[in-house]
Structure 1
Amino acid sequence: MWYITRLKIIFEKKVIVDLHSHTTASDGILTPTDLVKRAVSNQIDILAITDHDTVKGLPEAQQAIKDEKLPVKLVCGVEISTIWKNNEIHIVGLNIDIENAELVTLLLSQEQRRIKRAMAISEKLAKLHIEDAYAQAQQFAKGDIVSRAHFARFLVAKGLVKDVKRAFKKYLGKSGYAYVPTQCCSISDAVNTIHAAGGQAVLAHPTRYDLTLTKLKLLIADFKDCGGDAIEVSQSRQTQDDLQKLAKLANQFELLASQGSDFHDLVNYLDLGKTTPLPGSVTPIWHNWSLD
């Protein structure tokens, strides 16, 4: 009875949920410890750490919560990069077993692809007379895998562009001078591996892939056919029209709804927990989760 009462108390108050965030284990700027502390400061009840193609930050976060008795429920997650019709699509895995053998194998393969891509980007930048880019970007990666975000921060620090957005536009994005296409797994591979690890698969930030509505629906249909469980309905930097459109798509394809800030940096409009609550018309992915 006490368990039912506790759940009732939790859901009678406004539950703040953020199921998409990043740490220094991938391309975030906060350590796992600092991230969970910020989550507490922002009064987040349920937080998922979903670093790109790695779960290396989760043990530190779990230990920090335990040692400091932090009042936040941590969901073990990951954001897996996939390729779909020449588009890089991200699939978030939630409530995963980070020691699952299939997951470990897939993430190791993804890591090797990321290293190969980073080296290729560095070579392209060298042809533009931007020397030693890989080594310098590594300083921003704090010893972990170098991503385009780390190259972007290096280019800003070097004074070649004003900000990260311009770094992607001029050098690292699809039309950039140093763009290198991603080499990663399929949506099916990602979803199957997440399920093997006991988790749920979520299509991340669906409206950020520069797809027409027709192509977005095709993507969601393919994701659903692969066994996908949910789509992110509430995101940061989102209009009410986008929120309602995604809610409608979640229901149309009989998918659960997730929400997440996709937090990387200390920017107000991208801060942890700063997303609009899910509309009442959708079923939250956490509707049947145990919060113990």
Structure 2
Amino acid sequence: MTLINAIGALQYDLHCHSKASDGILTPSQVVQRAVNNQVDVLAITDHDTINGLNEAHQYIQANCLPIKLINGVEISTLWKNTEIHIVGLNIDINNPQLNSLLASQAQCRIDRALQISHKLKKVSIDHAYENALIYAQGDIVSRAHFARFLVDKGYVKDIKRAFKKYLGKSGYAYVSPKWTTIEGAIKIIHQANGQAVLAHPSRYDFTVTKMQTLINYFKENGGDGMEVSQSRQTLEDLKLLAHFANKFGLFASQGSDFHDLNNYLDLGKTQPLPSNVKPIWHNWS
């Protein structure tokens, strides 16, 4: 399998997170780390929010940094009772339909966080929501913030155990989300003049058959691309996802899904895309 990142080619990272959602770095720090890692084109794609993008753009401009920032977002959706993430790239952050959807998603996050906190209180873990808010620093509260609280207070050893024991589907404090649909997310991303990308398709713990069903459903509802090079994958994963991108006529994207250095790949460190796929950025100016 031939890879396409030739000498002199631009380095893309089109999926990462800042403190605006559940990352550990501010948007400015994310940008600076990307520059330090020689990323040329970056998309900050926080969960259901675009609140970090203005800071990131201002930081680049103020410091004359050699990086292009793509406006992005990662929208949470539900499909067959599974949470599926759709990345929007090159979105118009002033689009009213997009902002309306993100406001609705934010309220869903608040409602879910309060229910999680209530369940944790039943097992004598008090003030979980208030503590998660501290970790979120006033922005969107996610399960990752609850997980950091649980680890730091000694309830569990690490993030993985926090999800297994409390926050994941089999966990005591799990609460089913009430996100938008895949087709709804794609529609809104297109209304905001963006491209819709299926995030990390091989990380949903699906069989190969079910993963193909998901990719086909995404394509049939107007999806534009899928992540082929992603965090935590083998070379065989890369080959399989490249095959599916071609099979279903989707552009290929790549992204580290960077949140922090302990649990995720660093910015700009994904494997190059195979040469037989068409990159999502093929016609970007």
Fold equivalence (TM over 0.5):
yes
- Following superposition of structure 1 onto structure 2, how do residues 196-215 of structure 1 map, counting pairs within 5 Å? 196-215=191-210
Cα pair 2:113 2:142 within 8 Å, conserved: yes
Aligned partner of 2:53 among 47, 53, 58: 58
Residue 123 and residue 270 in structure 1: after superposition, are their counterparts in 2 closer, same or farther (change >3 A)?
A: same
Residues 217-258 of structure 1 deviation map (CA, whole Å, 9 limit, x = unaligned): 111111001100000000111100000000000000000000
Aligned partner of 1:91 among 81, 86, 102: 86
Residues 26-77 of structure 1 deviation map (CA, whole Å, 9 limit, x = unaligned): 0000000011000100000000000000000000000000000011110000
Gaps of 5+ in 1: 1-9
Alpha-carbon distance in 1 for matches of 2:53, 2:94: 11
- The residue type equivalent to 2:112 in the other structure is R
Report the TM-score when normalising by structure 2.
0.97
Residue 136 of structure 1 pairs with residue 131 of structure 2: yes
Aligned partner of 1:80 among 75, 95, 98: 75
Q: CA deviation at 1:14?
A: 2.8
Q: Identity of counterpart residues, as a percentage? A: 65
Gaps of 5+ in 2: none
- The residue type equivalent to 1:155 in the other structure is L
Q: CA deviation at 1:12?
A: 6.1
- The residue type equivalent to 2:153 in the other structure is K
Match of 2:185 in 1: 190
Match of 1:7 in 2: none
Alpha-carbon distance in 2 for matches of 1:170, 1:242: 28
Aligned partner of 2:38 among 39, 43, 57: 43
* SS of residue in 1 equivalent to 2:21: coil
Alpha-carbon distance in 1 for matches of 2:11, 2:111: 38
Residue 69 of structure 1 pairs with residue 64 of structure 2: yes
* SS of residue in 2 equivalent to 1:201: strand
Aligned partner of 2:234 among 236, 239, 262: 239
| Number of equivalences | 281
Could you say which structure has the higher helix fraction?
1
Tell me which stretches of 4 or more aligned residues in structure 1 moved more than 4 Å: none
Aligned partner of 1:162 among 151, 157, 164: 157
Alpha-carbon distance in 2 for matches of 1:267, 1:68: 28
Aligned partner of 2:273 among 275, 278, 285: 278
Higher relative contact order (Cα pairs below 8 Å, separated by 6+ residues): 2
- The residue type equivalent to 1:110 in the other structure is Q
- Compute the RMSD of aligned alpha carbons: 1.2
Cα pair 2:46 2:73 within 8 Å, conserved: yes
Report the TM-score when normalising by structure 1.
0.95
